[in-house]
Each structure stands twice: as structure tokens, then as C-alpha cells.
């Protein structure tokens, strides 16, 4: 997700600071690792780094229910 898109969404009514956690992999071939800065600075997201997890792409790489997703969601409750 690009910073421009995040700023567009903020302009459409999404609050600048929301309770959110963004999960990144340090070796994702599709999402640049430095995108985490956009989430942290634009939305105030807490950042979680998964090491050597690749790209979270569902059925393509058997990443259907990554445990970190549930753990991160429970932190928001």
C-alpha cells in the first residue's frame, strides 16, 4: 500500500489515527519493507515484523490463518 493511497483514504473519512496493527515480513517480494513507515506515520499503526515470512498471500503460499494476525487483533481488544 502506498502512502498516497493512505492519504487518499484519510481524505475520504478514515481517521488519521486509528487503533491498528500492520504486519510486515522482512522479505516480502511485493510489499516494500519501508511501507511500514507510512502506516506508522500516517495512521499511527503499531508495526509487527515477521521474519522470513515472505508475502502474505493466502492460498498461494498456505498463509490462510497466520497466527500473528489473531495475536495482533487480540491486542486491539
pTM above 0.75, yes or no: no
- As a whole number, mean pLDDT of residues 29-34 equals 88
Maximum mean pLDDT: which of 1-5, 31-35, 61-65, 69-73: 31-35
Q: Is the pLDDT of residue 3 over 60?
A: yes
Instruction: Kindly give, in sequence order, each residue whose CB lies less than 8 Å from that of residue 38, ignoring residues fewer than 6 positions away.
Output: 1, 2, 3, 6
Domain positions in the chain are: 3-76
What does the pLDDT look like over 21-30, one tens digit per residue?
A: 888 989 888 8
Q: What is the pLDDT of residue 31?
A: 87
| 51 closest CA partner among 72, 24, 21, 29 | 24
What does the pLDDT look like over 4-22, one tens digit per residue?
A: 666 665 665 555 555 788 8
Amino acid at each position: 500500500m502506498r502512502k498516497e493511497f493512505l492519504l487518499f483514504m484519510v481524505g475520504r473519512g478514515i481517521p488519521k489515527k486509528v487503533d491498528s496493527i500492520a504486519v510486515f515480513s522482512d522479505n516480502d517480494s511485493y510489499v516494500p519493507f519501508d511501507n511500514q513507515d507510512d502506516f506508522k506515520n500516517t495512521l499511527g499503526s503499531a508495526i509487527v515484523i515477521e521474519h522470513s515470512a515472505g508475502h502474505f498471500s493466502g492460498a498461494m503460499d498456505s498463509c490462510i490463518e497466520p497466527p500473528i494476525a489473531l495475536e495482533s487483533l487480540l491486542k486491539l481488544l
